[in-house]
Structure 1
């Protein structure tokens, strides 16, 4: 079997040969786009390889502690290995359990998640991948219940979802008392429909900031906006 290659970023490396959920644009987008905090606690729900937790650790000061929850054992082990070889191994804690069973003694100032999102589609053949990408193990209502239980009253929740599912998620978040205060509509090319929505929620209502982001400019070149967003991470920028 061919070994899945490591993904090298400027300040850390993500090994992913054992991980169900590989490094992808969604995770990089969320890790780079999320508004950071520089004190307190961060929670990454469904960390996979640990990518987003590592990106947020890189972007924050040593005062910030990142907790990362991962249900799948092999993914959690891979994330732990990636964290241990990073500069932030003392600031990131990996928890191999479901978010429903995660009951820390602290509340979080920032919660991030690249959650399961295939609500009504047919399951893929690999059960592990179906768990990662379908809402069987963590549906949107359960994610919002967990966020409400674990977040500080002034805290924020940031997620990325396909465009269609993001509209469903916004309705569910509103039912749980969360307001969408920032949203970025993302598409791969200017002539394509929106493909992803990056959203930030708070229990405190405020003026909503709306943004748009295109991945490619001309040809296969990344747009200037995408390069600016991710320049601290990708080696080729």
Structure 2
């Protein structure tokens, strides 16, 4: 089933050639990311299927939405997903490693929003599927490299938004601080009210302020979603 196109309300995503399929993390980040500062230029690091870029194209008027993907099959598929969407003229995908991209682009015009659902399985375990391992394992893009690189590409008033395991939150905040980036909003995500916190959604900026911190619970029970979660993703999921 996961190789079938994933249909959202305003776009459809083919994912048969992508190691990482559509998941809740990406949808959460694409819906949660604040556009209050009206970014006109966006960079999606590790775009995979192109999901987050497409969500931001739907939500914003940004004229430049660049995506970056190192894995060749995912890169090709994201390009196809962009081209068949209503926003193909605003979406562009680069096939490159992040360090190469930073080296090439850091002296160019800065991005007003940088967003990433980064690989985070840093354990020694490997699946044996090289593409999937590259998509899921943190050594492909360490958190330090991601945050440092983003700090070089971000405009003075820009935001860096990401979703990471809650266990990595304090690490990410420390790395951000080392590069002049501070949290302005943190949302901690739980599967159910009684479950432990699983993910952290973090929005960084160069301004050091007291961050807004809240919590998001996804389900009351299996497939019985909370009103907060439904409100967040209602513009995307067909059945919500």
Task: Calculate the TM-score normalised by the size of structure 1.
Answer: 0.95
1 or 2, which has the higher helix percentage? 2
1:188 maps to 2:191 = yes
* Aligned twin of 1:165: 168
Q: Give CA deviations for 1:170-216 in whole Å, capped at 9, x if unaligned.
A: 22112212111100010110010000100000111123111111111
Query: SS in structure 2 opposite 1:132?
Result: helix
The gaps in structure 2 that reach 5 residues or longer are none
Task: Work out the number of aligned pairs and report it.
Answer: 235
Aligned partners of 1:163 and 1:195 also within 8 Å? yes
**Is the alpha carbon distance of 1:134 and 1:89 closer, same or farther for their aligned partners in structure 2, counting shifts above 3 Å?**
same
- Pick from 212, 220, 223: which aligns with 2:223? 220
1:96-111 map, 5 Å: 96-102=95-101, 103-104=104-105, 105-111=108-114
Aligned partners of 1:217 and 1:224 also within 8 Å? no
* Aligned twin of 2:26: 27
Question: Which consecutive aligned stretches of 4+ in structure 1 deviate over 3 angstroms post-superposition?
Answer: none
1:53-64 map, 5 Å: 53-61=53-61, 63-64=62-63
**Is the alpha carbon distance of 1:3 and 1:152 closer, same or farther for their aligned partners in structure 2, counting shifts above 3 Å?**
closer
Q: Give CA deviations for 1:37-79 in whole Å, capped at 9, x if unaligned.
A: 4342000000000000000010001x43100000001101000
Aligned partners of 2:8 and 2:237 also within 8 Å? yes
Q: What is the RMSD computed on CA atoms of the aligned residues?
A: 1.4
Task: Calculate the TM-score normalised by the size of structure 2.
Answer: 0.94
